[in-house]
Amino acid sequence: MKQLFNIYCDESCHLENDGEKVMAIGGVWCPANKKDEIFHRLREIKEEHGLNKRFEIKWNKVSKGQLDFYMDIVNYFFDNSDIHFRVLIIPNKEELKHELFRQTHDDFYYKMYFNMLKTLFEPDCAYNIYIDIKDTRGQKKVEKLHEVLCNNHYDFNRELIKRVQQVRSEEVELIALADLLIGAMSYEHRGLTTSEAKLKLIERIKSRSGYSLKNSTLYRENKFNIFIWKGNMYGK
């Protein structure tokens, strides 16, 4: 029987005209049979810091008062060999040349999701993909993404990619963890320095990962995988 993995995806500043240059799409993944154990431990960490177990882990909530909590979350991610992360960064959306490549921004969005996910798939495994899509066309995007992924992998019977499903980040602990790590990557690539707590958390991620976060990692990096999209690739 194929081993089943769950991939929990999130995105940051993915809309074409949202005023932000940096776009990020990423995902956290783990064996499906480890999900409940991981969810339980993340909730335990919340309670150890005096937080309600329903408290939502979120990059925008990182503050001086909760820095120790978020440090423990980051440490748990790096200490648990069952949890992995990959992110794709588009450094400057203003340089996108959609007309040149005869595509819409939505077309580009699906290409980026495919490029973020494609290195994770192994032919002898199966995958459920859960996505927190924040705009009003979420369900339509989920259906389209499932179609794009399956077609690109000749997975017409949907045996490799079993499910692509929209979920709410506040209901799924690993979507929230993806939000945290993607948020840190976006903050770093925007060159922001307004929050000392966020900068300290980013330094912890750099220290634990061994990466500067500014460059792509090796293609098959398995724990903290970074792919920086380059200018001459903006249409493909």
CATH code of 124's domain: 3.30.420.10
What end-to-end distance do the CA atoms of the chain give, in Å? 35
pLDDT tens for residues 122-173?
A: 989 999 999 886 666 667 778 888 887 877 766 677 788 898 888 877 678 9
Pair 177, 55: CB distance under 8 Å = no
pLDDT tens for residues 54-73?
A: 999 999 999 999 999 999 99
- Number of compact structural domains in the chain: 1
Q: What is the span of the domain harbouring residue 98?
A: 3-233
Closest by alpha carbon to 190, among 22, 18, 12, 15? 22
